Each structure stands twice: as C-alpha cells, then as structure tokens.
Amino acid sequence: MLDDVEDLLRAARTPAPSAEAKASAIAAAMTAYDRDSEKNPASTQGQHAANRLLGETLRTGRTIMKKWLMAGTAVTAALAAGYVGAGLQTRPMGLGTPTAQIETMASAPGTSGGNGAVTMDSHGPAVLRSAASPDEAVSVMMGPAREIAPYPSPVMDRMPLFEDRDRIKEIATGGLKSVAAEPVSTFSADVDTASYALVRSQLNMGRLPHPDTVRVEELVNYFPYDWPLAESAGEPFRPTVTVAPSPWTEGRKLMHVAIKGYDVVPEERPRSNLVFLVDVSGSMNTPDKLPLLKNAFRMLVSALAPEDTVAIVTYAGQAGTVLEPTPARDRDAILHAIDSLQAGGSTAGEAGIRAAYRLANAAFVEGGVNRVMLATDGDFNVGQTSDDDLKRLVEKNRESGVYLSVLGFGRGNYNDQLMQALAQNGNGTAAYIDSLAEAQKALVDEAFSTMFTIAADVKLQVEFNPAAVSEYRLVGYETRALAREDFANDRVDAGDVGSGHSVTAIYEITPKGSPAEMFGELRYGRKDAAGDAADASEYAHLSIRYKLPGEDKSRLIARPVTPDDEVADIGEASADVRFSVAVASFGQKLREVPALAGYPWSAVREMAAGARGEDPFGYRSGFLTLVSLAESLDRTR
C-alpha cells in the first residue's frame, strides 16, 4: 500500500503553500500524533488485537510522516489524518470513541479553513486534498478525488476468541412425574450459591451461560429471604408452605416450600479454626483469580474474632505452609502472608488438600468451627486429579470433623463440576467469586451462615396425595436428588445448613382432574388410589430430617400441605415468594426448560420488580439487570 501512495505523490502537482499554512499544518499533525500516543502509551501491550493494531497504525503513520514531511504541507497533514483516522476506526466498541477523536484532530489549528486545508469526514476515510488557493482545496489526483484505503480493520474474526475450557457436568432437567407411579419426591438441602455468580459473570461478559451451569435452586437460594425463624436450636427449622396458581402453565399450581435455619446469636458462636488452601499455580495468574482471591481473604480476616485462628497452605507444583495457625488478633502477620502469595507452576491440588487437613487437625477446636477453605479455579493436574479420587479424599477427612468449603475463581478453565463435588462431599459450601462485591457477600456478610452449621444431613421429602394431585415437577435440585429409601437412612450424606441459611424448593403440581394433566388414566390402574375422604383435603405431606451438630441420629419435622396454605392468586403471595418464583423462572429459561418456552422475559422482570421490596444490599436490583441482559442476548441467538 505504501508503494501506491508513493506513486500517487510523485504524480501529484502540489501548489506551493504559504509559510503560515505549512507551519500550521505540520504543528497540527504532530500535535495530533503526540496526543494519541499519550492517550495510548502501552497500546501494543494490550491483550486485545484492536489495541495492538492501533499501536502498529500509529507507528506506521509516524514513519510515513517523517519520510514525506517535506513533500508538501497539505499532503503531509492529509496522510497524518488518513492514517490516524483509519487506525482509530479499528477500535472496537468500548475501547474509545473514534469519531470524537477524529473530530478533535480535524478542528486543530490549520485543519479547517485557511491554506493547506485537510478535508476530513469523521464517518469515513480521509481524502487527500491540496490547497490550490488560500480559500479552496482541490484533489491532487488526476481525475476525481480518490480515497486512501484505510488500514485493515480488525473485523470480528480477527479478535481473539474467549478460550472456554471450563469443565461442566451435564445435568438432565427433572421432568414431570406421575403421582400414581412416583408419589414421593426426596432430595438433599442445597445452600450453595456458586451458580448464580457464575451465571452473572457470563451475562456480564455478553454471553448466555451454558445451560448446565445453571442450577436453579442455587439461583433461588442466593438471595436472603425473611422466612419465619425457628425459636430454638433444638428444632432449627420452621417450614413455610404456600400454594398458588402457577404463572407458567394454565391449570397448574405452585407448591412453595421454604425453611430458614435458626440464627445463632453472636455470643453463642464458637471459635473458628480456618485453613486457607490457596491455589498459586500458573493458571491463577490473571486479575480475576489470585489478585481477587487475595483481596477476598483479606476481607474475611477482617471479619474474624480475635481468638479465631488462620493458617495458610499453598500449592502449585507442590504444597507448602505459608502460615502456621495464627490468632486473628495478629492481623498484620496474616495479611502479610496473604500479600506474599504469587502464582506460578503446575497444580498439585491433592497434596495441598492433604497438607491443609493436617494443619486443621493439628489445631482442631473441640466444639468449634474447623474448616479448610479451598480457593482455586479447579485446574488440578498433579497427583490425584480424577474427580472420584479427590471426592474420596474429602469424604474420608470430613469424618474427623474438619469440613471443606470451596471458593471458585476465574474463567477459561474453571472446573465447575469438581468444585461442586468437593463441596458436597466435604460437608461444605461452594461459592463463585467474580468480584469484590461477591467476596463481601460470601465471606463477610454471610460468613457466619457459611461457617456455623446448625443442622447436618438435611433432607426433604414430599409425599403427594393422589386424590388431590395427579402430577408434579420439582424445579431444580437435579444434582441433589436422593432415593426414597435414603431419607430415613442416617448413613446417607446430605447437605448441611448454616446459621440463618435459607432453603427454598418449588414444585409445579397438577391438581386432580385439571385440563393440564399430561398423564392419562391407566386402563388397569388402581381405582382405590385416591384413598379415603379425609386424605383428599391434603395436597401433600412434607417431612424434613436433620441431625444436630455432633449427633448421629436424625430428627424429624413433618406437616401436611392443605388448602389453608393456598392463595387464590400469585399476586396475593408474599413478596419473598413472588421474588423467588421470578428467580426460578429466570433460571429455567436459561436452562431452556420446555415448560417455560412460552413464558416471556417481560413476565419474569415484572414479577421480580413488583416483589423487590426494600433490597438493602441491591441484590434484587442487580437481578433485574441480569434479566434484561438475558432477554437481549436471547433475542440474538
């Protein structure tokens, strides 16, 4: 392209400009280049192709200017304008405002009016024009004015693609069940919130999340709710049930079940023995991983009581102890150890887990909170690396009373399925930290809920009455499903619930005889399945099993679900019920659940907005933003 320009310049008849115009044009061109260089001092060091191309454009243009500076005032200024303008146009949306910068340059001294003017269209490439007279600019080309081809623009296929190597477990969405065939639904409690933050991260990147990263129950349970609290730690739950018409399917109803764990008062909170197990492998060397992790742990340290202890174990190619168990009152020593962490090497996660458990057991607090807090992207590649091996490792160690919680960081190689497996088998929780705001929520605002267990192995079971309900569908909890016989088996592990934690479950049910029924009557079905008349007044029977901390035998809470729990319209339900239903709608649409294919995003947003309430932390307002993002992205797929 440079040779073509040289030929054009040789053939051009350049009138002699005035000395004033010459000086003004040169000053304007060099000022524009210097200004752009100052604004982009490290453009070639950026991670985006557009920035690198812009840097190359600026350097090329400066070289040309130096080479042809004496070829003529108007030509030189035009080349500067053409190459800077073309280079600026390569910026993608969000990296700057090309039009504004071009217009600024065009209005610099000597570029509008006067001799040696440069004609510049801020919406297109520059056109070479030379001053034939002080008041008129004409083309230097033979024949009509010709445009200089702009510097090649980085079209979308030039932009670096996001390399998505995340490991995601396929999850089959729970379908409609016939009460006649399967009258009992059993599942484990789930208080994890990782899926919501992961979904939010994807939407904020302008991408719809992979459906299998959307665990609807984690989205619903992400938000705080004002469900009635239990009155004593001995019976830590007080179930709240609401039955309302389904907004998703005409002729069906929602059965909304909610519990909130007994809230431990501050003076009852036991001492904490925490071990931060930090992944410092090379894969953690990005801003959304180790730097964010360090800030998150600094925030957690600030929330600890003086008598709590903190130890730090790191792992990369091998595991090492950075800090022996240290009282939280020695805050400076703990923060110094956190600040010293640096990333590099492979990922010996198994060795790190073993080392962290050894430290936690050495400083074990009887009757206290003993927990390993694993912070990683899950990219284990040294030692035992299979999910099953690592699950067995944490299962074995949980018997000692040391539990494992998982904090996930980063994208690109995030191992979502392993994070879930480790937290579930380590009797801990899983959270995904995508921002300091999420770190504040998970590690400061909800620290006690996360760490102080008030009930272990919490299981829920619903038996539906075939006289009142013909079909049901549990929303979410696909990864928490249990066999019917597991409910009363105290050897079967289930989720733990912390102080003040909420657990919400939503069923969509089909009343007996509703036109929405999908399962027809069986020719040889039992005619007496409806039971006696007294039972026909109950929709279902709810049972909850749990173990108090330190106990091996489970306890039972049970109650029937009756028309007394019913409201005539979903709008009559509490704000918390309506908001949680809106979140469940959002999650199911992201999972592409067929039952919500015709349910519009506008209905999700309307229900959530109407149930936002006080929202002191802005979580519900943030959810409304995500609904709008999802709707926009859904239109384009």
Secondary structure (H, E, C), 71-105: HCHHHHHHHHHHHHHHHHCCCCCCCCCHHHHHHHH
pLDDT tens-digit series, residues 212-250? 999 999 999 999 999 999 888 889 999 999 999 999 999
Identify which of 425, 428, 499, 487 has the alpha carbon closest to the alpha carbon of residue 460: 487
d(CA 177, CA 470): 9
> At residue 76, does pLDDT exceed 70?
no
pLDDT of residue 1: 52
Which amino acid makes up residue 99? T
According to DSSP, the residues that pair with 243 across neighbouring strands are 255, 566
604 neighbors 586 (Cβ within 8 angstroms): yes
Strand residues in 342-384 grouped as ranges (E): 369-376
* Structural domains in the chain plus CATH codes: 2-158 (no CATH), 177-265+453-521+535-636 (2.60.40.1230), 270-434 (3.40.50.410)
CA-to-CA separations, 343 to 348, 514, 563, in angstroms, rounded: 13, 60, 59
pLDDT band at 7 (very low <50, low <70, confident <90, very high): low
pLDDT of residue 518: 94
Strand residues in 488-575 grouped as ranges (E): 495-498, 502-511, 540-547, 555-561
> At residue 123, does pLDDT exceed 80?
no
pLDDT of residue 133: 44
Which is higher by pLDDT, 531 or 406? Answer: 406
Question: pTM of the entire structure?
Answer: 0.73
Name the token pair of 72. 């003529």
**Residue labelled with tokens 């020695």:** 330
Angle ∠(121,123,125) on CA atoms, nearest 5: 60
318 neighbors 465 (Cβ within 8 angstroms): no
Which amino acid makes up residue 518? M
The three-state secondary structure class of 433 is strand
CA-to-CA separations, 66 to 19, 32, 211, in angstroms, rounded: 19, 14, 56
Taken in order 383, 389, 394, 397, is the CA torsion positive or negative? negative
pLDDT tens-digit series, residues 438-491? 999 999 998 888 888 999 999 999 999 999 999 999 999 999 999 999 999 999
Exposure letters 198-213 (e unless 16+ CB within 10 A, then b): bbbbbbeeeebbbebb
pLDDT of residue 574: 97
d(CA 270, CA 452): 8
Which amino acid makes up residue 535? D
Q: Tell me which of 7-16, 393-402, 501-510 is least confident.
A: 7-16
285 neighbors 609 (Cβ within 8 angstroms): no
